[in-house]
Chains A and B, each alone.
Chain A
Amino acid sequence: MSSPGTQGTQTTQDSRLFDLGYRRYDGPRTEPISGIATLAVFTAKRVLGLGRGGRHKVLPAITLVIAYAPALISVAVAALADGTLEEDFISYGDYMFFIASALALFSALVAPEALCPDRRTGMLGLYLAGPLDRNRYLVAKWGGVLAVMLAITLGPLLFMFAAYVVAGYGPTAGETPGLLLRILAAGVLTALLYTSLSLAVSSFTTRRAAAAVAIILLLFIPPIVSESAVESADAPPELGLIAFPFVAGELSFRIFGEMPEGDGPPVTEVSTGLISAAVAGFIVGGLFVCWIRYRRIEGFR
């Protein structure tokens, strides 16, 4: 093909064969540490059912609805109420108590997705054969699950806060930093608690169903046991500390300086120091369990 003005000249300049073979990559590469972020994001997406079939989005969606619905209702009421029903608004402490069900659902039925399938499918081996080690893997997994948990714990609270402010029921300028701090603390600690529970149990089994059952049992049995023991057998209220939901709920109440309605679970009588210790214990314990379990797992096959 010759270009105009060059009649009579043979030229091969305009024709080229393109090699469709393998191309080397000389571009930039990310830092090894960013593998953690990549995996965390990937985990969060998988857990939420993004990039998977529609049916995997159902449970996460239900969880989010349960978590945000009270906030939405509360905000709607606030918008309509015009300053007359302030005492009937949901307090932050109460709210955390409500979303415990969303958290339970999520911890048991959704979060095990983060750890269990990888061991079942040999994916863990593939991860470990890359620039990742077991501890980084765990950090990424915790990060991913925690991020989604925060959407359930922190999200609704902040949403409610913002809505109250807009509707004119917000705190004074002086109170605001303190309140925001409390919201942050409650949200983060509660999310950490449930992440810890979910992942620690998941580290014991490759079957999501087994993890789900175990988590549900751990969430429901200790409260029943401790409550009846304290009430009928006169056990000390500290026994309530074995009950995960009690500890988590009470934590939020303490942070916001509120009391639960009615009699409340036995832990209401336990000192704040012990409650904090229990919270720390659960979180650190969960981390430790994961670390130990994954040290021993045979990643390379």
Chain B
Amino acid sequence: MQTSGSTKGKSKPSNLIPGATGDWEVVIGMEVHAQVASHAKLFSGASTEFGGSPNSHVSLVDAAMPGMLPVINEECVAQAVRTGLGLNAAINLTSVFDRKNYFYPDLPQGYQISQYKQPIVGEGVVEIDVDGELMKVGIERLHLEQDAGKSIHDQHPDYTYVDLNRSGVALMEIVSKPDLRSSKQAQAYVSKLRSILRYLGTCDGDMEKGNLRADVNVSVRKPGEPLGTRCEIKNVNSIRFIGQAVEVEARRQIDIIEEGGKIDQETRLFDSAKGETRSMRSKEEAHDYRYFPDPDLLPLEMTQGYVDGLKKALPELPDEKRTRFVKQYGLSAYDADVLVAERENAEFFETVAKGRDGKTAANWVINDLFGRLNKEGKEIAASPVSAAQLGAILDLIANNTISGKIAKDLFEIVWSEGGDPADIVDKRGMKQVTDTGAIEKVVDEIIAANPKQVEQIKANPKTMGWFVGQVMKLSGGKANPAAVNDVLRRKLGI
């Protein structure tokens, strides 16, 4: 992937890393492996389900028995095309599957079926937002390939245990151009990619399960100079670690060069516990993979009609949705961003916002609902408060049945006990008091009981807050604050 590098990677001064001999620019490219969301594997009918007892989700084809042959899964092809479309990429109507030959115990065939010279998807572009700045990240290509099995090294001092459950599962390898210039950009890129994949339903993006993993290519150079030697940090499986790995590796390379050394092109692993990258021992020699077209398969040929059909059926993607949210609901770009990050969240919001004030809905969804979900580590699918229930709460505020403060209490009740918000308000007498007469009574009581404060307020009307608070307290929070303000001003003559 050692291209001449894009000159458009505008290295803002703030992205440069200070070193002993001056400022350094870090150049990052990412190869993301995304497990295709499908029931069966890429070339076999065995299950892709996670877990499973050893070698249970394994067919004779996956185990590379003598005489076994691959047959491609149509859904994996469709998922790759959908992803390509979501990356604004060129779809290659003809693509070829190649064998990548090497020996490893979790690679039963002794080769991986992948795509080398003619991948299914070509160049594309992804837009990312890093601290309010928009930038475009180029996509080089996307191809389909088989995942390998699992080699377990820590069960026994002398042996490695091999489980082929994952062997043959479909992966999409998404290769970016080396356009990224900071750890934050790298993180934003992977987050955005993950979001797009989840929107499309082509990959669940679960980094903990290893369904989305990144190989991060890092090199450093003085701004304006040619690209430096890059190192590849393999299998980084969290957004946080991606950021750390970039920083740690950039620093390592800068230190070496500044001390007069050279960077060896090598493959490294990120050790999160130690906060450092280390060289992978097994990759001593440059691999000669001897790629050639797999003779058990034929070239994959798709029609434009097929691709167009998939395109038509694509869901609205994050960027489009974000733009629409800002326009349609009058939201800030920041709020829109938060809402569209996950498709389910965006759908939840739109259900709440339907027929209601968008900004209020956004406010409640982001601050109250998401805040609470995050605190309890829950996903939106498991939210105790449904979109309908939240919408009902907002309706009760909008028609003045309850105050904003009471609404928070109501939210709490629905969260822990469930139920219909209107019902609860009724049964528990939570209705807001807007009856001016009742308010006046309370206000009179308080004025009478606090002559000193009355004097103070007349002198300094800004301290009225204390009175409002007292009225609210005495009314059990049920008084409509706007009405309270009106009455107080009138009675106090301010």
A and B interact:
no
